[in-house]
Amino acid sequence: MLPFARSEPLTLGIEIEFQILRKESLELAPGGPVLLNLVRREADLAEFVKPEFIRSMIEIVTPVCPSVSRAEEWLRGALTRLRNLAEEKGYLLYAASLHPFSRAAEQKVWEDPRYEALRDELQIVGRRFISQGLHIHLGMPSAEEALRVFRWFRLYTPLFLALTTSSPFYEGEYTGFYSYRSKLFEALPLAGYPRDFENYREFENLVDLLLAHRIILQPRDLWWDVRPHPEFGTVELRVCDLPGRFSEVLGVAALARAFAAAVLAEKSDPPAVPMEVLRYNKWQAARHGLDGYFVDPATGRRNTFREIFREFLFRCAGGFAETGERDYVRALERVVEEGTGAHRQLNLHLEGRDLREVVAITQGEFWL
């Protein structure tokens, strides 16, 4: 049995994984333990700042919020404090899903038994895995409703990826991808595009089987692009790269919340879509970003992510009417017109900026 926790419908949690940089060189710095020790002295902040796989990375998570505006208010205060603590020690926080030029082999894993065991199991795959992401939790009224929302989200995860791409460079090299992070992530076991489930019991049976054979130790070891999260009573969207601007983080949260609200209100099941089509859609998002092509599961039309986004807003109209958060999505409308963090990095590099300048400029744009 896998009980699904009670949760207020459409409550929100946002998890942001930041890179930690040396202020002078702008390289990745193993400053996570230092920052965590400082944060532990801040009683009202300590429980919301957490270690991650490598020491040059730190995660901040919001409390459960009733709206995007409440999450925005909390994050503005908490991030300002965290960034100030970092700067006191000569560090900067950087919002992007891959560092453009630091070397993966030079990064150190947190001294934690779980992370050390993971590193030993993953070997070179784990040593290359130095990525950061944005995760959105959405409260669900029941296990079955969560499963239905999950099933709809899995069809549209490539759109959320296309809107957030921020990882075109890796170890000083242009990868040819707008989201190379997503390709690194797919090399991990039990990661990437999830399978479909007809009902929550089928999902529960799979988790029970994996736990029984010690393939996973807990349900959150399923590192899917979107997943039901029984412990929290949420659906968790995990496919996104980390946008380089705070306004875009909030825009993604508002869009996800409106889509979930629309799905809960409509009470319709998603169409069956071959996995080959879904993987094609995700490849297009990772490789070509907003200019990639998406086969819309609902309409069967093939169009660019830019055009699909505009159609998706209509799909979410009822959800926006419920949440009242349509204005936050203007940041994503600007992204569709001007480009994501990946576009901004690439454009700066094409202008002749070296990768340190790219990091310096984009790091300074977070509050835009």
Calculate mean pLDDT across residues 160-172.
98
pLDDT tier for residue 90 given thresholds of 50, 70 and 90: very high
Calculate mean pLDDT across residues 69-97.
97
In eight-state DSSP terms, residue 164 is T
Calculate mean pLDDT across residues 269-290.
97
Class of domain 12-363: alpha beta
Calculate mean pLDDT across residues 118-129.
72
Q: In this model, does residue 178 exceed pLDDT 80?
A: yes
3-state secondary structure of 152: helix
Q: What is the pLDDT of residues 10-59, one digit of tens each?
A: 999 999 999 999 999 999 999 999 999 999 988 899 999 998 878 999 99
Question: CA angle 169-173-174, nearest 5°?
Answer: 55
Q: In this model, does residue 128 exceed pLDDT 80?
A: no
Calculate mean pLDDT across residues 187-208.
93
Contact in structure between 185 and 192 (CB atoms under 8 Å): yes
CA 31 to chain centre: 22
How does 210-249 read in b/e, with b if 16+ C-beta sit within 10 Å?
A: beeeeebeebebbbbbbbbbbebbbbbbbbbbbbbbbbbb
Residue 312 is predicted with a pLDDT of 96
Q: What is the pLDDT of residues 288-312, one digit of tens each?
A: 999 999 999 988 999 999 999 999 9
Q: In this model, does residue 189 exceed pLDDT 90?
A: no
Q: What is the pLDDT of residues 226-244, one digit of tens each?
A: 999 999 999 999 999 999 9
By CB neighbour count within 10 A (0-12 exposed, 13-18 middle, 19+ buried), where does 290 fall? buried
pLDDT tier for residue 126 given thresholds of 50, 70 and 90: low
Lowest mean pLDDT among 49-58, 130-139, 175-184, 314-323: 49-58
Q: What is the 3-state composition of the chain as percent helix, strand, coil, each rounded to the nearest 5?
A: 50, 15, 35
Separation CA 295–CA 362 (nearest Å): 32
Q: In this model, does residue 214 exceed pLDDT 70?
A: yes
Residue 43 is predicted with a pLDDT of 84
Separation CA 96–CA 20 (nearest Å): 11
- pTM for the whole thing? 0.96
Q: Mean pLDDT over all residues of the chain?
A: 94
For a pLDDT cut of 90, what percent of the chain falls above it? 85
Q: In this model, does residue 198 exceed pLDDT 80?
A: yes
Instruction: Name the E strands within 12-142.
Output: 12-22, 49-51, 57-61, 91-94, 134-139
Q: In this model, does residue 224 exceed pLDDT 70?
A: yes
Calculate mean pLDDT across residues 55-79.
97
